[in-house]
Structure 1
Amino acid sequence: MGTGSLTRAAALRGLPQLVDELGGDGAGLLARFRVPVEAVDGTGGDGDGPGTGDGNGPDALVPTRSVARVLETAATELGCPDLGLRLAQRQGPEILGPLAVAVANSPTLGDALDCAARYLYVHSPALHLAPVPDPEGVAGVTALEYGSVDPLPPQVADLGVGVVHRIVLLLGGGPYGLRSVHLPHPDLAGAARYREFFDAEVRFDRRAAVLRVPSDLVRRPLAGGDETVRAIAVDYLETHFDRPDRSVTERVRMAVDRSLGTGPVRISSAARLLRMHPRTLQRHLATEHTTFEQVVDDARRDSAERLITRTDLPFTQVAAMLGLAEQSALSRASRRWFGAPPREVRRSAGVAL
């Protein structure tokens, strides 16, 4: 599944211990597929903040295909057909890393699910979670579909749907009215085992993996959420993780926004961040009817409007934060952007001079 895609190693959190308990060698199994055990266990990095998404830190990424192979191999070699369910029982929102903070601080279950669906690419771009019409056509029922760009291997399906179920249980504080579960594979461990885990009927060999839930579940409020914390978490997701479907222009804009005021804004630096040759980047931008210079100018204009109209920072400091060499460059740009020099723009916005 997800040829070439990457998944956070935290998706396998708890697997080494589970394999050991079942009589296998958890660390050895991960090593066979070149999955760093310290990343899976959350022991990598220095513990002072979010990981970088590479190496062996808490946000380390591993090939999505390796995650699937580890799970299927463990289930087969250990004779444990319910391995995915057992691992799901040990996991919760924390495996989503920074996304978990935004999800847990949502005002309603619907907001939490929307957030998880929107930013699931942070966990793995190969996966999706989305509400779809009830496949059984029952009024008042909605399906939460968990899927991938490729067919889900059985243990991956069980683990993924099981974790979604666990997260809804934990966020909602208990049973949430689950009607039934559809899984896209045959019964692996016996219907009774699946019913025990989900506390609902499970139907096999279906088109997709879904949880059939009450349509009004999305309106259920969550206790203890903090909108400010959620906003900070969402901002972090937006600025630190590149959405797979973002245009090249959007990706360049993000790179420029981060670098304004820290040094010269050069296409070579943006190209390096995007892992492109500068000429290739120029061609992509031309295809999207813009240029690097235009993207930089738009970024400076938007930042200038915010700094001039919402702060009382000295204009020399504003110019420096925009990556402009001197205040006179800010004055010329302000006249071009806003039809007036910075002082007039600030006065019109009601900021005390």
Structure 2
Amino acid sequence: MGTSDRFDWIEQLVGSGTPIPPDTASSNLIGRIVSAAVSRGANRPALLEAVGTSEAILRNQLSRVSGQVLIRLFSALEHHLSDPAIALRIGKEAKPNCFSDIGFATRLLPTLSAVLAANVRMQMLRQTLYRVDLVEDGPALKLVWDIGSYDAHEMGALVEFSFGTYVRLAREIWGDQLVVESIAFQHAARFDGQHYSDLLGANVAFGGSRNAVTFSAEQANKPSPCANALLLNAATACHSAPVEWLRSGQRHSAFTYFYLWTELNKSPATLDRAARSFGMTERTLRRHLVEEGHPFRALLDDLRKSMCELYRLENKRSLGEVAELLGYGELSAFSRAYRRWFGEPPSRAWSHPS
């Protein structure tokens, strides 16, 4: 499977018959930003009330909200935290941390160029207010932001957040060796210009004709120190079955799978929660899943086993952390499931200390 094919499930999900509306953002993105803000001292209930959303909406990681919620969110954050640079700061911090987070596995791709391309492909799942394009221009590799008819100042904080996420992503790959050749914003500086340079690690220009970040194409196409072909193969293979379900019309099974995948480490994975997130009753979703040959409990158990295998291959986390990421409230419950899946206790196969 070529690099460009690794994340074909994105197009399958986007093109599954439920078009993603323009000017919207995913609950997954909103939730990551809110969590990062709370870690910096923001009051979560007050923040959600200020932007006009709720915990119930954020619980469904695949649901969409108006793009205005995203714009209001950064405005509220600047007010709540008295920090005009908060969008950039959160862009640097609100990173995917586990396989349940959309985009986490892209870090395993063979080059920074491939990592950036995969994340650009995922942008519609995250938001549809602006478009990011990846352009290789001789010795330069550029990310270019198209904000359409939006006013550059109105979109300033959101674009800054996006710049922060891509620069942070590139630094996850190359660390202090990363070469950022230039950064340009369409809008005027919203705070001290030197502060932008300090946060982004490069010279920053303002008031230009487009928003763009320029990397070294030579470095972006070198083998990535974070590449892991074995783990990447395993991670992308996990989505092959639900993609086939989409193709064969088993939509309820596929969407329940993706819902559980993104929700597993965030709240109890129950049939009732899944049904409510899809706007149907528990009984109706149960019936659809059984008719499609994927009863809820079996689907959840298979997904947990698949994700457990990823963390075992990754070999960077304790058993307690993995149990939590798989949605188990107790380590003993995870240990029993592990023994049932693999025929031995996790302590025998897990080399990372618990």
How far did residue 14 of structure 1 move? 0.7
1:202 paired residue among 201, 204, 209: 204
Aligned pair in 2 of structure 1 residues 31, 231: CA closer, same or farther (>3 Å)?
Answer: farther
2:38 is matched by which residue type in structure 1?
P
Corresponding position of 2:47: 29
Aligned pair in 2 of structure 1 residues 150, 175: CA closer, same or farther (>3 Å)?
Answer: farther
How far did residue 141 of structure 1 move? 1.9
Aligned pair in 2 of structure 1 residues 192, 55: CA closer, same or farther (>3 Å)?
Answer: closer
Corresponding position of 1:167: 169
2:88 pairs with 1:85: yes
Structure 2 distance, partners of 1:229, 1:193, is: 38
Aligned pair in 2 of structure 1 residues 176, 236: CA closer, same or farther (>3 Å)?
Answer: same
1:10 paired residue among 25, 31, 45: 31
Q: Secondary structure at the match of 1:14?
A: helix
Residue-by-residue CA offset, 1:265-319 (whole Å, 9 max, x unaligned): xxxxxxxxx99xxxxxxxxxxxxxxxxxxxxxxxxxxxxxxxxxxxxxxxxxxxx
Structure 1 distance, partners of 2:76, 2:230, is: 43
Corresponding position of 1:101: 104
How far did residue 68 of structure 1 move? 1.4
Contact 2:110 2:227 in 1 (8 A): yes
Residue-by-residue CA offset, 1:44-81 (whole Å, 9 max, x unaligned): xxxxxxxxxx6615566443321211102332465422
Structure 2 distance, partners of 1:96, 1:149, is: 32
1:3 is matched by which residue type in structure 2?
D
2:140 pairs with 1:141: yes
Corresponding position of 1:216: 218
2:188 is matched by which residue type in structure 1?
P
Structure 1 distance, partners of 2:241, 2:126, is: 15
Per mean C-alpha deviation after superposition, the further-off stretch among 140-149 and 183-192 is 140-149
Larger Rg: 1
How far did residue 176 of structure 1 move? 1.4
Aligned pair in 2 of structure 1 residues 11, 19: CA closer, same or farther (>3 Å)?
Answer: same
How far did residue 227 of structure 1 move? 2.4
Structure 2 distance, partners of 1:224, 1:175, is: 13
Aligned pair in 2 of structure 1 residues 7, 56: CA closer, same or farther (>3 Å)?
Answer: closer
Corresponding position of 2:263: none
1:5-84 alignment to 2 at 5 Å? 6-8=26-28, 9-12=30-33, 13-20=35-42, 25-36=43-54, 56=59, 61-76=64-79, 78-84=81-87
Structure 1: gaps (5+ residues)? 40-53, 242-249, 261-273, 276-353
Structure 1 distance, partners of 2:100, 2:127, is: 12
1:184-263 alignment to 2 at 5 Å? 184-235=186-237, 253-256=247-250
Contact 2:50 2:76 in 1 (8 A): no
Q: Secondary structure at the match of 1:163?
A: helix
How far did residue 160 of structure 1 move? 0.8
Structure 2 distance, partners of 1:96, 1:190, is: 37
How far did residue 118 of structure 1 move? 1.8
Structure 2 distance, partners of 1:116, 1:254, is: 27
How far did residue 159 of structure 1 move? 0.8
Structure 2: gaps (5+ residues)? 1-20, 255-277, 280-354
Q: Secondary structure at the match of 2:102?
A: helix
1:204 is matched by which residue type in structure 2?
F
How far did residue 212 of structure 1 move? 1.0
How far did residue 195 of structure 1 move? 0.9
Aligned pair in 2 of structure 1 residues 258, 88: CA closer, same or farther (>3 Å)?
Answer: closer
How far did residue 6 of structure 1 move? 3.6
Contact 1:121 1:127 in 2 (8 A): no
Structure 2 distance, partners of 1:106, 1:172, is: 13
Q: Secondary structure at the match of 2:97?
A: helix
Corresponding position of 2:116: 113
Aligned pair in 2 of structure 1 residues 194, 5: CA closer, same or farther (>3 Å)?
Answer: closer
Residue-by-residue CA offset, 1:86-114 (whole Å, 9 max, x unaligned): 22232224399543333111111122112
1:15 is matched by which residue type in structure 2?
A
RMSD: 3.6
Structure 1 distance, partners of 2:88, 2:48, is: 19
Structure 2 distance, partners of 1:99, 1:107, is: 18
In the alignment of these two chains, the number of paired residues is 231
2:77 is matched by which residue type in structure 1?
A
Corresponding position of 2:183: 181
1:86 is matched by which residue type in structure 2?
R
Aligned pair in 2 of structure 1 residues 95, 233: CA closer, same or farther (>3 Å)?
Answer: closer
Structure 2 distance, partners of 1:28, 1:56, is: 17
How far did residue 224 of structure 1 move? 4.4
Contact 2:31 2:58 in 1 (8 A): no
Structure 2 distance, partners of 1:5, 1:144, is: 20
Structure 1 distance, partners of 2:99, 2:127, is: 10
Structure 1 distance, partners of 2:48, 2:98, is: 17
Contact 1:2 1:65 in 2 (8 A): no
